[in-house]
Structure 1
Amino acid sequence: MNSRDTRTVRSHHLCTGAGCRRRETRAGRGRRTADDGTLLCPDCRGELLTDLRQLPTLYRACGHLLDGSRSMSGPRERTSGGGAPGLPFNTAASDARREILTLLGSWAGLVAEARQVPRPDRTVEALAAFLVRHWGWLASHSAAGDASHELSATARRAARAADPDRDRRPVVIGTCPEPGCTGRLQSLIHPHSAEAPAVRCRVDPAHHWTGEQLMTLRRRMAAAPTATHPAPLDAAPTRTAWLTASDITRLWGVPSGSVYRLASLRAWRRRSRNGRTYYHEADVVRALSERRPRPAA
């Protein structure tokens, strides 16, 4: 990152964020209008916050790859040839980790100096948490476009290093159910990944769901009225969802062995279809909401 000034934007402009640049160069579509007093549109502001939140996860994922034996989706199949003899080393993952740490440290330094606040510890987790706390200020800075591009590019390179075969393009899944919000919701995690999925609103990044919250989100989306089909006062409750063990593992981060153990101990209602077992959503949510939070890694 180059030297930055500390001015904030005072006038209205077209968005300079990474998302709008991709929109312009790849799809030939015009850039959106930036929020008042910033250089970023709501979508690009949300993407900036998402990148800050996911960089520590990508940093840890790349750390697991330094011996060349794992990807974010699981163990890699060992093959002969294609590398130097002896212990393999994933150069792309190492470079991605170094880039993440350097970039977060650079932007955190700008924020700390400009806002005259103490610098965070030089760890990826501390730097990212610091920038998330100051995200609104950074998004309103005259260098917000640079931050958006650099963080987006770094996150994408780290994702490719963590799993070159993975398609990480977000998938739009519906309209945000928050009152008064017109944003669209997008899924941030590939459906075949073992990583916990998340959903965020493209307009307001504070509208964010992960883990077991996704079940509540599903019900809210199903029950949300539309302009042409308002919900009746006596509307029936949303139909019960039935979850597989893999669904539960992905949503709550619970090992599959624990899922089967809880299902037996708590006598979860179940049904079988095409050789697969599905568990009643209410039983799963009740049991897992009672579990004590796992300590931070």
Structure 2
Amino acid sequence: MQEANASAAGPVVPCRGTGCRAREAAGRGKQHRRPAQAPALLCTACRARLGLELMRLPDLYEECALALGASGPRREKVSGGPLPGMPFNATAADVRAAVMGVLGAWSALVVQERGAAAPRRDAAALARFLLQHVGWLAAHPAAGELSEEIARVVRRARRVIDPDAARQVAVGACVEPGCTGSLTATVRARTPHEPAEITCDADPAHHWLGHQWLQLSRRVRPGTAARAAGAATGAAAGTRWIGAADIARLWGIAPGSVYRHASRARWRRQTRSGRTYYHEADVQGTLAGRQGAAAAG
């Protein structure tokens, strides 16, 4: 078997995966990385993410091919592809080259260090080859770099396929008891009137919509909620003041509706640096009622 020569499980070490690096950045400390069981250098969640992204890369690579003639940075291409003078999406071409470069380089590492037969040089074969050796790669000293490079090229490919793709903001550690996952707030640019979503990378059952954020954020480590939502924290303990743009994003309503609700319901407000912020309790009281009425309808 592939892992037959792996050494016995060693001590617990901080994960080097890209997901845990994001946790560290959000929490401002290495202690926020999940544990990995040596000899592995990736935790269970980051290894699963690596495998999933390797499985997705061939399809992303092919979808980028479909985008070669779509809008984006353009240049003329005279050999192959569109005819001279026809639009050519240089970004899509660059991302496809990056996908092949990353998959090819890490496959060459496996071939050199493990003595494995080299795979065929196409995206599907290279990704499949790396998946076959993902356990060994997760224990390689460069496991963290592999995790980051694969995640980066996946993000680039997704931006080519959907330039208006959802924006993601790291929130912090999952608030569910015993969960070691990280929370991410997702805002979809193409559907701004849909609420933001807060999801956990370790357990998809840990999932909240934007309008539940005000309650959820009280359970998150102090400071992370305000950074994720862009909210301003009031001077009084337990009081939070929230900007109109963040209210619109979290509840999935038009900014104009925010101002209308604020006026009609007479939300308490304060101004800082030229921006207006509204009292959390007033926002929650009005929009929770709105949500309930929509559900009843």
Please report the TM-score for the alignment, with normalisation by the length of structure 1: 0.49
Task: Judging by fraction of residues, say which structure has more helix.
Answer: 2
Higher-Rg structure is: 2
Please report the TM-score for the alignment, with normalisation by the length of structure 2: 0.49
